[in-house]
Amino acid sequence: MLISPRSVWHLLRQSVRNTRGCRVLSLTVLLASACFPYGFAGGGLPPNIKTIAILPFDNETPATTLQRELLERMRREIESRLGLRSAPESRADAVVRGRILRYDVDIPIGYSADPAQANTARRRLQIVVDIEIIEQSSGRELWSRKALRADGEYEERSEVEGRRQAVEKIVSDVIAGAQSQW
């Protein structure tokens, strides 16, 4: 609902006429004005971090394309969601590095309702990574997570969709961690 200036002026004149109305109006104005200076303090990356280098993760799994998928998604999302520019490692303010520890695929989670078929209808995969964000100038660890796990579910023979979901979750967790630094 939009209130016109004329309506506000009319309410103001009426509320001034009685004491109770004046108190209500004062309280309303006070509460409304308290919302404007709202902001967040703390959390997030330090203000001196403007550029970031995202290094290819060490891949300890047989999934050869996983490293590239994770790297590309991480670069795209960190730059857009954290507002950082990509830079070579030698000139970056911070570096993201990690290791892909585990890639488990074809974990059955849903079975066909047809008793004549013993096929699973839905499957799950899991990706486990170690990851850290390091400030280059001081060598200080800004954020890290050991054994960060993400799952993805997919229909049988659609492993790519499950992998996309899991990679998305890992990247979102890294960004949320970098923003909060808890």
pLDDT digits (tens, 9 = 90+) for 41-58: 445 789 999 999 999 999
Task: Render the chain in DSSP notation, one character per residue.
Answer: ----HHHHHHHHHHHHHSHHHHHHHHHHHHHHHHTTT----S-SS-TT--EEEEPPPEE-SS-HHHHHHHHHHHHHHHHHHH-PEE--TTT-SEEEEEEEEEEEEEEEEEE-S-TT---EEEEEEEEEEEEEEEETTT--EEEEEEEEEEEEEEETT-HHHHHHHHHHHHHHHHHHHHHH--
Which band of pLDDT confidence, cut at 50, 70 and 90, is reported for residue 29? Answer: low
Would you kindly state where each structural domain of the chain is located, as residue ranges?
Answer: 5-34, 51-180
* CATH class of domain segment(s) 51-180: alpha beta
Residue 108: predicted pLDDT = 80
Provide the pLDDT for residue 166. 97
Is the whole model's pTM more than 0.85, yes or no? no
107-157 tens-digit pLDDT: 888 666 666 665 667 889 999 999 999 999 999 999 999 999 999 999 888
Residues 64-98 pLDDT 10s: 999 999 999 999 999 999 999 999 999 999 999 99
